[in-house]
Chain A
């Protein structure tokens, strides 16, 4: 390796490598019999219930072959094949008896399969949604705007991502206090000096709020300014209340 150039993303790679090192060290600490006892932290009690609920309709799946944790195992392939053939004969002999014994369970098994297929479908749909979201975030056309609160509430801030073609956006908000029930926060986009309502939201106490912003069909071009004001519940067509966040896109 004669090439000593520094990769432009070397600092990110260094962080990733250091984290990998920390993780492997932590694993050695936890699994090495000679090491001091690894620290224990009790997980929330409901987590166990959640896991047990999730496995309620599943059974451990059969191993496809004798490779469990990534080790290449071609040397056993022939033996596995021979064993497989032998097992096939044995299975065939036992099949008839098993058939009668398991007929009663067939309906339940079908139900389980249907449940699993449903779960698989849900997971697949979640995955597709997350992939679409990730693709959206990676899109270089997505614009970024940082919004800040006034001096009286300098902890309030927000980060807005905006796609100028789909005219959709996502807003992360923090530091805004919850409002009375009859009020809500309203986001405004500006093309020129004209504010256009872009959705209302409520703030969570002490936490960040993430809101999706609906497509702004009436915007002919990408907005350059954004603001958040306190408005009557449900929003109004033109701003009437105090501005609590304001910022421009980069």
Chain B
């Protein structure tokens, strides 16, 4: 018996077909779980994120727009976003408790959301300035606007392969910049 392709399966999910959702889970859960473990490096956290992602897929299935991204891309974008939220939450608490006592108390006072977010955005923006214009363009849309690769390609009117290639080269450089101390040194 042939298994339905993603679009067909997803149409059934959007119509409320739980069996289709089960097939969809079987198809993607192993690779998505591996993906979450790779980001979070913790199986328990990865389980939680996987659960949240699939629940969101079910809840938002009718909002999915196949003209903007593939089902697979949409699924991984959801999982990445939730995994990063989980990582930030866990990292924030770990930082608070693993810091030296004085530093810990300083951080406790420094965690003001708005200013923190603005400072982080400024930091990322400075790091991005060290990349080529083409790399900056794709990574700004990915980081600040949360666009998928397909959306970035459509927005920049560039082939998807080109966008992915620029994203990969930009990410490699960006990690090196962050690793050597980031935005302030250059």
Contact = CB atoms under 8 A, between A and B. Distances in A.
Contact of B59 (A47, A60, A172): A60
Interface of A: 1, 4-7, 9-28, 30-32, 38-44, 47-48, 50-52, 54-56, 58-64, 66-71, 137-140, 142, 144, 146, 159, 172, 250
B51 A69 contact: no
A20 to B, nearest CB: 6
A47 B53 CA distance: 12
B80 A24 contact: yes
Contacts of A6: 181-182, 184-185
Interface of B, helix, strand, loop or mixed by DSSP: helix
B182 A16 contact: no
Contact of A18 (B63, B110, B178): B178
Interface residues of B, number: 91
Given A24-B80, A70-B147, A142 B108 contact: yes
B181 A140 contact: no
Contacts of B95: 12
Contacts of A24: 80, 142, 167, 171
Contacts of B7: none
Contacts of A54: 51, 55
Contact of A43 (B47, B60, B68, B93): B47
Given A13-B119, A23-B84, A69 B77 contact: yes
B127 A48 contact: no
Given A16-B91, A43-B29, A51-B25, A68 B184 contact: no
Nearest to A30: B35
Nearest to B146: A70
Contact of A30 (B18, B31, B97, B175): B31
Nearest to B161: A34
Q: Give the most central of B22, B37, B96, B175: most A CB within 10 Å.
A: B175
Given A22-B38, A38-B31, A250-B105, 12 more contacts: A7-B122, A9-B116, A17-B178, A19-B91, A22-B39, A31-B73, A32-B164, A55-B59, A60-B16, A62-B62, A71-B68, A142-B105
A47 B51 contact: yes
Interface in B164-186: 164, 167-168, 171, 174-175, 178-179, 181-186
Interface string B58-78: 111111110011101110110
B143 to A, nearest CB: 7
Contact of A69 (B69, B87, B129): B69
A102 B113 CA distance: 47
B33 A43 contact: yes
Nearest to B39: A23
Contact of A51 (B33, B55, B64, B125): B55
